[in-house]
Amino acid sequence: DIVMTQSPESLTVSLGERATINCKSSQSVLYSSNNKNYLAWYQQKPGQPPKLLIFWASTRESGVPDRFSGSGSGTDFTLTISNLQAEDVAFYYCQQYFSTPYTFGQGTQLEIK
């Protein structure tokens, strides 16, 4: 199985500032034939299901504010949230879908300072 490791486990950021969450996979999730990274980011608020934010490592889902951006390739990925808003308080998970069983990072809890 591909192991996904997120850092940090929790993060406290001031309103209007930038939050950066890292995700590392135990093997590359870059598919060479199409040059796509099989990596997604999800946001989960208390009592709600996860919501897709980013797929193919850097493509923003429709309706997701452009404050959210994804980057990285191969084994190292980053979710950046710029101009942090109160509604961004949540858990964030990365997920690889390069091979089954698909696996998730352990999650990062984002709080407001």
Q: What is the distance between the alpha carbons of residues 61 and 57, in angstroms, rounded to a whole number? A: 11
Number of residues that bind other proteins (CB under 8 A): 23
Q: Closer to other proteins by CB, 10 or 14: give it.
A: 10
Could you give the CA distance from residue 87 to residue 67 in angstroms, rounded to a whole number? 12
Q: Segment near other proteins (CB under 8 A), from 13-21, 45-53, 63-71, 72-80?
A: 45-53
Cα–Cα distance, 61 to 51 (Å, whole number): 10
Q: Which is nearer to other proteins, 13 or 104 (CB)?
A: 104
Q: Return the number of other C-beta atoms located less than 10 Å from residue 79's C-beta.
A: 27
Considering the complex, what minimum distance in angstroms separates the CB of residue 103 from other proteins? 7
Rounded Cα distance, 59 and 93, in Å = 16
Question: Which residue, chain included where needed, has tokens 């890292």?
Answer: 22
Which of 50, 70, 75, 88 is in the footprint of other proteins by CB under 8 A? 50
User: How far apart are CB 100 and other proteins at their closest, in Å?
Assistant: 5
Using CB under 8 A, list all residues that contact other proteins.
38, 40, 42, 49-52, 55-56, 61, 93, 95, 97-107
